[in-house]
Amino acid sequence: MERFSQLPLELLPSILDHFLRPSQIASVCLVNSSFYAFAVQDLYRRAFIYAWHKDGKTKVKQLFTTLGNCPHLAKYVHQLTIRDYPKPFSWAEREDIRALCLQGIRNCVNLRSCTWTRDGSLSNDIISSLQDAPHLTELEINGHSGRWLFNAALLPGFKHLRKISLIMPDAHVLGVLLHWARETAGTLQHLTLICKSATQVTDELLTGLSQHLVNLEHFYLVGCPKVTHVGVWSIIANAHAGLRGLGLEGVSSTFDIDRLSELCADSQALRRLRSVTLTVETRQAKSEHSWAQAVVKLLAASPLEFFHISSLGGELHAGALDAQFCADIVSAHAARLRRFSVHRLRMRPASVRDICARCPRLEQLFVVLDRSDVDDLAACLALAPRLRAVHVSRPMGPDADADDVPVVPREQVLELVRRCRHPALCQIGFNTRVHQINRTLKTNSDGEVELELELGPYESPEVPEQFLVVRT
C-alpha cells in the first residue's frame, strides 16, 4: 500500500477508465483525499436510473435528494438518464418528488445530456429547469405530452440542442417539431423519432423539417409507416455535410429503395455514411432479392463501419438472410466494417464465417443462429483478429413468450470461448444474457502459470449495443 500511495496522480484518470461500476468508483473515493478528488468526478459524471434497476423508483428519490442537497457533487453531472420514475398515489407526494427533481436539476450546472423517458413523468417545470441548463446539448424524452402532462409548445425553448430523440411522440409534440427544428437549425446534428405506428410522421413533415436540418449528421426513424423514400430523400439531400448515420425501420411498404439508391448514387449524398440500420421489407423472394441489390447500390459509395439489419416486427423472419447479400456487403465494405448486426433474421454459418474471415477490423458481431449451428461458431470467431463482443440469438416460435427464451448453460458458453482461443474477446451473450469474459493468471500443480478464462456478470452501466432500439 505504501508503494501504491506513491503512484503519480496523473496516472489516476487512465486507471479509473477501467472501473465500470459506480460501486467500484465509490470504493476508490475512499482511498484518500487525492484519490477522492479524481474519482468523485467520474462517480457523478453519469447519473442514471434504468427501469430494470432494483428499487429504481426509490433510487430516483435518493439521487435527486443528493443532487439537491449537495451542489458540490451535482456540478460534476454531465449526463442525467432517468428511465424510471415513481408514480405517486397522492398529489402531495407527487409535488414532493417534483420539488426534489427541480432542485437537483438546477444544481447540475454542467449538464450536457438528459434522458427522461418514463411515460407521464415529464412536466412543464422540469422542462423549464432543463432549459436553464446552460450547457445542455442532448435531449431524449418521452413525447407523450397529454392533456395533464406537459405543454408541447414549451419544447422549442430548447434552442441550442445538438441531439433530439423523441420516443412515442404524440400529435401535439409532432405539431411543434417544425418550429423546434427552425429554432435549433444552427446546431442540430442528430434527430431520432421512435414510434409504434405514428401516422403523423409523413413525407410532408420530413420535407418541411429538411429545410432546417442542414447540419444534420444522424437521422433515425422507427415505426413510421407513412414515410416513403420521398421524405427520406429530402432529409438526405438537404444535409449539407452528408449523413454519417441513417436508420430506417418500419417505414412505408411503398418505400422505393431503388429510387432512393439512384438519387444517392447520382449525388454521392451518402459519401460520409458510417452507420446504417435497415429492415427487410418483404417475404417474397423475388422482391427481397431486388431490395437487397438496391441496398448494395445505396451503400456503394459509403465508408461503412456499422451495418445493422432486421426483419419487421417482433417475429423471426420466415427465411434466412440471403447469403449473396451478406457476401456483397462484405465485399464492398470489409476493410472498414467494425460491427455486423443481424436481428430477427437467421444467419447461415457460411455467412458468419465469411464475415469473420474477410473483415479484419470487425469488433462486434450480433447474429441469429439455429441451435445446431452454434457448435461451429468457435471456428468462425477465431478468424476475426479484433473481435471484442459476440451475441447470438436463437430462433423462437411465433407463440413463444418471455419464459420460453432458450437459456444456454454457462458451461457451454465457456467451452465455446475456450475453443475460440480469441485474445481480444471480452463479451459474449446468448439471447437475453450477456457475460463478461475475465482472464486471470493462475499457477497449476506443476508450478506453471496458466491463463484461466471465466465468465462474469456484465458490469458496464451502459445498455449493451445489441439491445438498443436505435443502433448507431
Q: 154, 242, 248: which is closest to 193 by C-alpha? A: 248
Residues 217, 244: contact at Cβ < 8 Å?
yes
**Would residue 424 count as lying in a domain?**
yes
Number of domains in the chain: 1
Pairing of strands 245-249, 163-167: unpaired
CA 297 distance to own-chain centroid: 26
**Would residue 58 count as lying in a domain?**
no
Residues 339, 363: contact at Cβ < 8 Å?
yes
Is residue 303 pLDDT above 80, yes or no?
A: yes
**Would residue 31 count as lying in a domain?**
no
Is residue 467 pLDDT above 70, yes or no?
A: yes
Residues 147-202: pLDDT tens digits?
778 999 999 999 999 999 999 999 999 999 999 999 999 999 999 999 987 789 99
The domain of 397 spans 330-335+348-472
Please tell me the number of Cα atoms within 13 Å of 203 on its side-chain side.
Answer: 12
**Would residue 452 count as lying in a domain?**
yes
Dihedral sign, Cα of residue 368, residue 371, residue 372, residue 375: positive
Residues 192, 168: contact at Cβ < 8 Å?
no
Q: Which residue has the higher pLDDT, 439 or 75?
A: 75
Confidence of residue 335 (pLDDT cuts 50, 70, 90): very high
**Would residue 37 count as lying in a domain?**
no
Rounded CA gap, 34 and 29, in Å? 9
Tell me which residue has cell 414549451: 154
Rounded CA gap, 83 and 141, in Å? 9
Dihedral sign, Cα of residue 20, residue 26, residue 29, residue 31: negative
Measure the CA angle with vertex 224, ends 219 and 225; round to 5°. 135
Grid cell, residue 254, equals: 411503398
Residues 390-442: pLDDT tens digits?
999 976 555 445 455 567 888 889 999 988 878 889 999 998 899 999 888 88
Residues 287, 318: contact at Cβ < 8 Å?
no
Rounded CA gap, 439 and 460, in Å? 17
Specify the pTM: 0.91
Phi, psi of 318 (to 5 degrees): -65, -35
Dihedral sign, Cα of residue 333, residue 227, residue 251, residue 189: positive
Q: 195, 139, 121, 183: which is closest to 157 by C-alpha? A: 183
**Would residue 413 count as lying in a domain?**
yes
Res 17: pLDDT = 83
User: Which residues sit opposite 343 in a β-bridge?
Assistant: 310
Tell me which residue has cell 429554432: 183
Q: 340, 453, 342: which is closest to 394 by C-alpha? A: 342
Confidence of residue 313 (pLDDT cuts 50, 70, 90): low
Is residue 318 pLDDT above 60, yes or no?
A: no
**Would residue 341 count as lying in a domain?**
no
**Would residue 119 count as lying in a domain?**
no
